[in-house]
Structures are given as structure tokens and as C-alpha cells.
Amino acid sequence: MSVKRDYYEVLGLSKGADASSIKKAYRKLAKKYHPDTNQGDKQAEKKFKEVTEAYTVLSDPEKKKMYDQFGHAAFDQGASGNPFGRGASGNPFSGGSYQRTYTNGNGGYQEYHFESGNMDDMFGDIFGDLFGRGKYEGEGEQFRGFQGFRGYEQQRDAKGEDLHAEISVTFEEAVFGCDKMFTLREPNGQGTSKTLQVHIPAGIDTGKSIRLRGKGMAGMNGAENGDLFLKVNVGAKAGYERKGSDVYTTVFVPYTTAVFGGEAKVQTLYGDVLCKIGKGTQSGTKIRLRGKGIVSMKNPDVRGDQYVTVQIEVPKYLDPEAEQKLREFENMCVKSGAENRKSA
């Protein structure tokens, strides 16, 4: 019968190493020798069992204390002060040892799990994607342990990868919303594509993304698919400038309307409206049309405003009579201005 190696030596540590060093050493060695990464390697399997046994003792304060004092003899059957006395001879974990056979397609493999060794936490850190968790029963007790490594054909279920793409919409489609067909080239290297229907919500702006749940890459082993994120690019509309939920436009009014006052027809996203133009309106004057902007995505009952800048149109051509009248008006303005300056 071979003599057991010192547990500290197995983990490559000096006697009396602290808990942090023990855990760190075990993680490194368990990852190195784990059967799922060394399939068919009996020596690695043996090493894995050895470091697991060493860690299970040294990671438990009470067992470590007994081992530091008595060595392996502390766990021999019938040894004085053995806190793990019930169970098989020579088994340092006979007070709560469990055994299960695992298969990975290349033959059987046995591994021991121990009630007090914190193995779940340790393997959860190291092999999160290689193991499942479950409950095992042994000697009338129930405890949490590993279901065993699953092999390449039995990897843990994993959600599919998310995909990202862009979609272009017109100004009107972004303002009012619509359902739009979208063709996506699948990233499988075979040039295949699929056509999807996407709902464009009213009020969306450039740079916003639409999420299509489950339209990304397929999940593994029946897990849910990834999602598709579509980044929106909104086209321009002649005569309109968008700033958030507000829109900005320009209205051109005749010179006479600006002088005498009147009305001007203004185009909005929801139809034409008549705006009052006051007497003496100057170019650059802004008119605010409440609620004629773009709907809010957060609250469909709220809309932005439309701001209309007045631009006075100067006539390019005047007939002789109109020109004469305008000259007379100009002279009157000059004369009136001079009299006002004298009286000031």
C-alpha cells in the first residue's frame, strides 16, 4: 500500500500555510488536473483526486488542526480524538463522504465530494461553465454537490450571443412610428439572411436602439436565444430641423404683410395652420406653435413644440406704378424721421 503524501506537499505549500494560500494553490492545481481538460489522462485524474483530498482537509479549520497535530494518523479508523470516526477505514472523510461515477464519453471517472469542504464555492469559481449543481444523498444525509462534468456535448446551457445592426427610417416614420420589414444577414459565413418585421416607435431619434428579443444567435442546449439590437438612423426632411421633441421651420411672408400685418400659412407635421403676423413684424421673429412638435416616447400624450422663424420676402421686381408708390412711401418715411429728430 502506497504511503500518502503530505497534504501541504500535495498543494506545493509549506506546513502551516494560511487559508488564502491553501485556496489559491488548490484552485491552480484543480484547474490544471481536472478530468474535463485532461480526458483519458489517468495520471491527471489521480492528481486531481489527490489535491481535492488535500484541500478538503486543509480548508476545514477543525480538520486542519487535527492534521497539523497528528498528520494522516488523525483520520485513521479508531485513532484517538478522530472527529470523523464513522465510515470506511483510512478514509479521512468517512464522516460524510459521497461517491459518484461520472462519464464524459471516454470512460468512467470517480470523484469524492465532502460535506464540509466548501467544494461548491470553490468549483463555482473555477469551473462555472463546466459543472451543473444538484443534490446527492449518502448515509441518510443530503448535501449539495456537483452533478459532474458534462463533456463537450453536455456543456452548461448558455444564452445565445446578442447581435447588433443598424436600420434607416424616414423622418415621417420616426415621427409617427410604423412597422418596417428588415433584412438581416446572418453571421454564419454562408451569406444567408432572414427578413424580420420591426416596430418603429413614434418619436424615436437617431442613435436610439430597438431591442428584438430572441432574434440574436441561438442558445446552447435549449437555452434562450440572444437578442438583436437595431441602432436607428433617422433621415432628414427638407425644411425641418429636429432638436429633441421640438422642430424648427421657417415661414416666408410678403413685405406688405410684415408692414400691415395679416396671416401666413405655416406647414406643420400635422397639416397646415394659419399664423397671425403682427404689424411691423421683423425678419427673425419666432412664432411658437404649442404641441406641433414630435411625440414623446415616454409619454404619448406629450408632444414638443414647433418654432417658426419669420423671413420677410423682398420683391425682386416692381412694375413702374408700384415702384413709384414705394418711392413716395420712402420719402414720407424720411420726412417723418427728420421731423421726429427735430422735436426730440
Domain boundary among 212, 234, 256: 234
How many domains, the chain?
Answer: 4
**Are both 38 and 144 inside the same structural domain?**
yes
**Tens of pLDDT, residues 154-170:** 445 688 889 999 999 99
**Are both 125 and 26 inside the same structural domain?**
yes
Asked if residues 230 and 209 have their Cβ atoms less than 8 Å apart, the reply is: yes
User: Cell numbers at residue 55, please?
Assistant: 484541500
**Are both 143 and 218 inside the same structural domain?**
no
Dist. CA 199–CA 294, nearest whole Å:
17
**Are both 16 and 111 inside the same structural domain?**
yes
**Average pLDDT score over the chain:** 78
Q: Is residue 2 part of a domain?
A: no
Dist. CA 322–CA 318, nearest whole Å:
6
Dihedral sign of CA atoms 274, 278, 279, 282 in order: negative
Which CATH number goes with the domain that contains 187?
A: 2.60.260.20
**Tens of pLDDT, residues 92-133:** 444 443 343 343 444 444 444 444 444 444 444 444 444 444
**Are both 12 and 147 inside the same structural domain?**
yes
- Between 13-22, 65-74, 115-124, 258-267, the lowest mean confidence (pLDDT) is in 115-124
At residue 322 the predicted structure's pLDDT band, cuts being 50, 70 and 90, is: confident
pLDDT of residue 332 exceeding 90, the answer is no
Q: Is residue 221 part of a domain?
A: yes
**Are both 70 and 133 inside the same structural domain?**
yes
Average pLDDT for 295-305: 93
Dist. CA 225–CA 162, nearest whole Å:
8
**Are both 295 and 326 inside the same structural domain?**
no
**Are both 102 and 200 inside the same structural domain?**
no
**Are both 18 and 142 inside the same structural domain?**
yes
Q: Is residue 269 part of a domain?
A: yes
Domain boundary among 154, 182, 200: 154
**Are both 64 and 203 inside the same structural domain?**
no
The pLDDT, as a whole number, for residue 280 is 92
SS3 of the chain = CCCCCCHHHHCCCCCCCCHHHHHHHHHHHHHHHCHHHCCCCHHHHHHHHHHHHHHHHHCCHHHHHHHHHHHHHHHCCCCCCCCCCCCCCCCCCCCCEEEEEEECCCCEEEEEEECCCCHHHHHHHHCCCCEEEEEEEECCEEEEEEEEECCHHHCCCECCCCEEEEEEECHHHHHHCEEEEEEEECCCCCCCEEEEEEEECCCCCCCCEEEECCCCCCCECCCCCCCEEEEEEECCCCCCEEECCEEEEEEEEEHHHHHHCEEEEEEECCEEEEEEECCCCCCCCEEEECCCCCECCCCCCCECCEEEEEEEECCCCCCHHHHHHHHHHHHHHHHHHHHHHHHC
The pLDDT, as a whole number, for residue 76 is 67
Q: Is residue 200 part of a domain?
A: yes
The pLDDT, as a whole number, for residue 136 is 38
More confident position, 32 or 151: 32
**Are both 147 and 284 inside the same structural domain?**
no
Q: Is residue 259 part of a domain?
A: yes
The pLDDT, as a whole number, for residue 145 is 38
- pTM flag (> 0.85): no
Residue 342 lies in domain? 318-344
**Are both 149 and 200 inside the same structural domain?**
no
Q: Is residue 188 part of a domain?
A: yes
Q: Is residue 206 part of a domain?
A: yes
